[in-house]
Amino acid sequence: MPDTCVNIVVGGEAGQGLVTVGDFLAKALVRAGYEIVVTQDYLSRIRGGHNTYAIRVSHEAVHGPRESIDLLVALDAQTVPMHTGDLSGRAMVLADEAIDRMGHTGLSIPFKTLCPKPMFENIAALGVLAQVLCLDRKWFEDLIAETFHKKGDEIVSANLKVFSDALTWAGSQQAGFSCMPAPGRTEKRLFMHGNDAIALGALAAGANFCSYYPMTPSSSVASTLIEHAQRMGMLVEQAEDEIAAINMALGASYAGARVVVPTSGGGFALMVEGISLAGMTETPVVVVLAQRPGPATGLPTRTEQGDLNLVLYAGHGDFPRAIFAPGTPEQCFEMTYRAMDQSEKWQSPVFVLTDQYLADSYRAVTPFDLSALPPVSAPALATDDPAGYERYAVTENGVSPRLVPGFGEHLVVLDSDEHTPDGHITEDLGVRVRMVDKRMRKGLGLKEDVLPPTFTGDDAPEMLLACWGSTYGPAVEAAQIMRTQGKKTAVLHFGQVYPLNPDQFLPLLASAGRTVMVEGNYSCQLAALIRQETGYVFGATVTRYDGLPVTAGYILKRLEEAN
Amino acid sequence: MIPIEQYGTFETAWCPGCGNFFINKALKKALSTLDLPPHKVLICSGIGQAAKSPHYLRCNCFNGLHGRSLPPAQGAALANTEVTVFAESGDGCSYGEGGNHFLAAMRRNVTMTYLVHDNQVYGLTKGQASPTTAQGQATKFQPWGTPSMPFNPISVAVTMDVPFVARAYAAEVDHLADIIVQAARHPGFALVDIFQPCVSFNKVNTYAWYKERCYKLGQDHDPTDWRQAMIKAQEFGDRVPIGVIYKGSRQPYEQRMVSSVRRPLATSKPDMTALDDILEGYT
Ligand SMILES: Cc1ncc(C[n+]2csc(CCOP(=O)(O)OP(=O)(O)O)c2C)c(N)n1
Ligand code: SF4
């Protein structure tokens, strides 16, 4: 397959502004109509170290990150030696004059002459990049104007001048990097990462209360909510700890709010008793868990899909739950929206599992059609029979009418201990059994509502790659590559990983020659769950747990090694 | 005034003679005085004997986890302006397991009333020392005497400039009821620490012990004087003051939050036009 992608990597120390360069460039590329996948690799420190911001860009769809680098922007001297081994045949290195390019083709940029002050170096780097990538300067100029307009016209024009000078300088250098094909599309797309999409999905579903305790890589869900809190009338509170965050959310939910709680594995571990409380009191709550390598407390800024078992088994005792695992920002939006609805509909805790890679991965996203969203379930405010109202009335599908306290004469009584239909504590063991049965019947409903896994690729494939969450894109790309090699290949992506409905996927697995589960963890947690629930055993597994995202190249290499 | 009968009568799981009965009586009396019908009252509690309280009263009730009466209470109070919110639990639940939440609630200052049944012992788990047990006091689980110094919720709350800080004694029902009424009317976070004799496990802090020591603060105590309040907060020995120790005027949390939050949240629908506009910002 001819490689039509360009993989751009900006490397440097934390605090050098590489995210500014990366964000600007990525946004300009999306505006210009290109497809991108951003991967951010950073250390758990605020300054220093070696960080990268990688943008894989193409005029056609790109699904995941790639290892080999075509354009390396070195903001510090470490960057070139660190990535020498990854440079592709056509690679170019862009670096300051003072940095040794180690013999690689590229440009030594006279930042000192191009910039009146060192703070303009990021903008100068963008000028060079715009020229090298043959991008219309207008995309950058608009962005510069929008970004700096609050700081005044003088700052805007100073930045525009640096940008223009750098672009002109690069033009005079005849750098000779081949231009990318022009993108075919002109319609507007959104520029956002997975966590933005999750926050927006929650807002679209009416989320109006968020309690959280900061933890990478979930914090940006909260920060996006905070950014829009004023306009959307949302209450966001930084709790004193995760235990408070989940309990506060449950209190708010009980009192009529629509709640979302973002956290990461270590924080979620602290919330576990609260999850049981949600299960027992049948209080809706959506927890967004952005995974990172654990256990306590692992690689704080790297990625992994290691917390499926944690959310699957979190809590003491039995109660129903649902777990979503979106693979793209579009799915982040849709599935969080759905999670909010399912949680209310089945009065159960519902989880959205994402990870650092997807959380930080900017993409060109098809705009969401808000008018086409299905309605979201809601509790009732009042009842005709307040005296007869029972919060835990035993019903056929297990769902009891949920009312909000204070809006009528009815009383809403919740208890973490076993309770009678009217919510009061009981030690009657017969009631206990009826109540467990009632709660667990909701699980059947949750199962009927399960989103089927998506199957893409050839029918009756020789090779089927199964995956969940953010591994979706890399698996699709690996499948495409195998297809060009003449192998019938398909991908089965689980966007909802619990409950599972075997009828939705066992026939597909049976139709495949070889099945491989691809997961970003050591123990292949979804494969184990599928085996436990259905007895199905995958032909092979590909796992990754070095803190980096799964890529197509990684999958293919591991499959080759297995042969 | 709402007739007291409206709050119901219930069979309890408390030991005969327990101080909890008086608190239950005082709370009903206070709610009646406050003219709060049962459906306008929301009580969150934790786990323990005291935490069962809201079950013994007709009201909206969220009986959650040990140590966690405050987070749901604050969440509910922020979400729902149709109800008056209380949290009610034991001293172990409130100052031990829930200590961090107590500290945060004082800082946050959400309008609600915190009723702590302070029996200076763990009741439900059978008599271990609690955070307010006196140093050196022996229990079955601390046979050589409680090694740690007791926590003083009153002086901590006064230090934190909590808007309403009171100490009460369960058996003084009318006095306690009056304090609860004042607490519920005061904007911001209100703490009422209530001495509650545990007849089963606390053989030191008995009715007689409290009766001998507790005296009611008189007109000469000015609760708005922080220094005086601090002195009263520290008074704990042969004589222990009961009554309103401190009244501050810190701005409640609700007045400091995002102004566009439309409460009660149950009736606030997402503004899709605004969201559409927000999405435009991502292009
Ligand atoms: C997380 C957790 N730890 C421990 C317990 C066991 N437990 C139940 S009640 C209680 C202590 C109750 O003491 P206190 O809060 O003083 O209330 P009292 O029973 O004296 O009214 C404990 C430790 C629990 N339910 N949950
Ligand atoms: S154990 Fe103590 S606190 Fe609990 S009910 Fe009995 S007397 Fe009351």
- The verdict on B160 touching A (C-beta cutoff 8 Å) is no
Q: pLDDT at residue B37 above 90?
A: yes
Q: 3-state DSSP call for residue A526?
A: helix
Whole-number pLDDT of residue A46: 86
Higher pLDDT, B13 or A186: B13
Specify the residue with its C-alpha closest to ligand 1, atom 8: B48
Specify the residue with its C-alpha closest to ligand 2, atom 5: B14
Distances (CA, A) of A63 to A490, A544, B42, B158: 15, 18, 50, 58
CA-based nearest residue in chain A for residue B68: A247
Three-class DSSP labels, A469-501: HHHHHHHHHHHHHHHHCCCCEEEEEECEEECCC
- The verdict on B78 touching A (C-beta cutoff 8 Å) is yes
B68 CA → ligand 1 middle, Å: 11
Confidence at A1, pLDDT banded by 50, 70, 90: very low
pLDDT per residue as tens digits for the range A70-83: 999 999 999 999 99
**Contact: B39, A243; criterion CB under 8 Å:** no
Out of B42, B78, B259, name the one closest to residue A406 (CB): B42
Specify the residue with its C-alpha closest to ligand 1, atom 5: B66
Residues B50 and B119: their CA atoms lie apart, in Å, by 9
Whole-number pLDDT of residue A562: 87
Q: pLDDT at residue A408 above 50?
A: yes
Among the bound ligands, the one closest to the CA of B125: 1
Tokens of B167: 């100490």
Contact residues on chain B for A253, CB-CB shorter than 8 A: 75, 79
> Could you tell me which residues are beta bridge partners of residue A363?
A37, A192
Single-letter code of the amino acid located at B105? A
Whole-number pLDDT of residue A411: 98
Q: pLDDT at residue A2 above 50?
A: no
pLDDT (mean) for A14-32: 94
Of A348, A328, A349, A340, the residue nearest A374 (C-alpha): A340
Whole-number pLDDT of residue B82: 98
- The verdict on A271 touching B (C-beta cutoff 8 Å) is no
Distances (CA, A) of A54 to A47, A93, A508: 19, 14, 35
Confidence at A176, pLDDT banded by 50, 70, 90: confident
B45 CA → ligand 1 middle, Å: 11
Residue linked to tokens 């964000």? A23
Of B63, B69, B62, B58, the residue nearest B91 (C-alpha): B69
Residue linked to tokens 């690799």? A41
Q: pLDDT at residue B189 above 70?
A: yes
- Residue B167 in contact with residue B240, Cβ under 8 Å? yes
pLDDT per residue as tens digits for the range A281-328: 999 999 999 999 999 999 999 999 999 999 999 999 999 999 999 999
CB of B93 within 6 A of ligand 1: the answer is yes
**Contact: A409, B39; criterion CB under 8 Å:** yes
CB of B194 within 6 A of ligand 1: the answer is no
Q: pLDDT at residue A28 above 90?
A: yes
B21 CA → ligand 2 middle, Å: 10
Specify the residue with its C-alpha closest to ligand 1, atom 23: B125
Residues A248 and B37: their CA atoms lie apart, in Å, by 25
pLDDT (mean) for A134-143: 96
Tokens of B17: 């003679």
pLDDT per residue as tens digits for the range B95-151: 999 999 999 999 999 999 999 999 999 999 999 999 999 999 999 999 999 999 999
Cβ neighbours for A311, distance < 8 A, ≥ 6 positions apart: A268, A287, A289, A321, A323, A351, A353
DSSP B108-142: H--SEEEEEEE-SS-TTTTS---TTSPTT---SSS
pLDDT per residue as tens digits for the range B253-270: 999 998 899 999 999 999
CB burial readout A399-436, b (16+ within 10 A) else e = bbebbbbbbbebbbbbbbebbbbebbbbeeeebeeebe
For chain A positions 358-387, those within 8 Å of chain B (CB to CB) are 365, 367-368, 370-371, 379, 381, 386
B50 CA → ligand 2 middle, Å: 8
pTM of the shown model = 0.97
Average pLDDT value for chain A = 96
Residues B5 and A328: their CA atoms lie apart, in Å, by 58
**Contact: B283, A406; criterion CB under 8 Å:** no
pLDDT per residue as tens digits for the range A232-262: 999 999 999 999 999 999 999 999 999 999 9
Whole-number pLDDT of residue B119: 98
Sign of CA dihedral B174, B170, B236, B66: negative
pLDDT per residue as tens digits for the range B143-183: 999 999 999 999 999 999 999 999 999 999 999 999 999 99
Confidence at A45, pLDDT banded by 50, 70, 90: confident
- Residue A195 in contact with residue A351, Cβ under 8 Å? no
CB burial readout A207-231, b (16+ within 10 A) else e = bbbbbbbebbbbbbbbbbbbbbbee
Distances (CA, A) of A35 to A179, A417, B279: 15, 52, 19
**Which residues have CB under 6 Å of ligand 2?**
B 14-15, 18, 20, 49, 119, 123, 198-201
**Contact: A256, B79; criterion CB under 8 Å:** yes
CA-based nearest residue in chain B for residue A425: B55
B192 CA → ligand 2 middle, Å: 19
pLDDT per residue as tens digits for the range B38-58: 999 999 999 999 999 999 999
pLDDT per residue as tens digits for the range B191-219: 999 999 999 999 999 999 999 999 999 99
Contact residues on chain B for A207, CB-CB shorter than 8 A: 270
**Contact: B270, A208; criterion CB under 8 Å:** yes
Mutation to test the B interface, candidates A240, A344, A409, most B Cβ within 10 Å: A240
Of A97, A100, A155, the residue nearest A128 (C-alpha): A97
Of A177, A190, A496, the residue nearest A363 (C-alpha): A190
Sheet holding B84-90, edge to edge: A413-415, B60-63, B41-45, B84-90, B112-118, B189-195, B164-169, B240-247, B214-216
- The verdict on A42 touching B (C-beta cutoff 8 Å) is no
pLDDT (mean) for A59-67: 95
Residues B67 and B138: their CA atoms lie apart, in Å, by 24
Whole-number pLDDT of residue A3: 62
pLDDT per residue as tens digits for the range A108-129: 999 999 998 988 999 999 999 9
Whole-number pLDDT of residue A179: 86
Tokens of A504: 């939705």
Sign of CA dihedral A498, A245, A226, A48: negative
pLDDT per residue as tens digits for the range A490-549: 999 999 999 999 999 999 999 999 999 999 999 999 999 999 999 999 999 999 999 999
Among the bound ligands, the one closest to the CA of B124: 1
Specify the residue with its C-alpha closest to ligand 1, atom 24: B66
Ligand 2, atom nearest to B48 Cα:
4
B125 CA → ligand 1 middle, Å: 6
Q: How far is CA B79 from the centre of its chain?
A: 19
Cβ–Cβ contacts within 10 Å for residue A532, how many? 10
